Amino acid sequence: MGKYLITIYRGNDFDPKISVDKEMKADIDLLNLEMVNAGVRVFVGGLKPPECAVALRREKSNSLSRTEGTFLNASHFMDGLWILEAPDIKAAEEWGHNAAIACHASVEVRPFYG
């Protein structure tokens, strides 16, 4: 068994007040229940919007600079994540597929070392 990170990505124009409806919430709740019942879910968490982030950048002088917002300037942002324990990447990809459908979003599935 390995551990896998499934991350949910949204476009910068995503507004949860408009896009997240009762059906999506129910689909995500059902997916979480399925993960728990299958014994694969280690952790789950939704993230607050990118404007709530603070980026700390290490400078060449080893000092840190602080900026409001996400570390990367991109057209998408990470909206939430799951950490799963699955037998292999194929099984983790299947959960990622289910997450993409439930969340109406793109996902990334990535294994942890070890």
pTM of the model: 0.92
What are the chain's domains?
2-111 (3.30.70.1060)
Q: How many CB atoms lie within 10 A of CB 47?
A: 15
From the number of C-beta atoms within 10 Å of its C-beta (0-12, 13-18, 19+), residue 86 rates as buried
Question: Residue 114: what pLDDT?
Answer: 85
Specify the DSSP element, H or E, that contains 29. Answer: helix 22-38
Q: Which two tokens stand for residue 5?
A: 């990170």
Question: Residue 61: what pLDDT?
Answer: 94
Full 3-state SS string of 41-73 = EEEEEECCCHHHCEEEEECCCCCEEEEECCCCC
Low-confidence ranges of the chain (pLDDT < 50): none
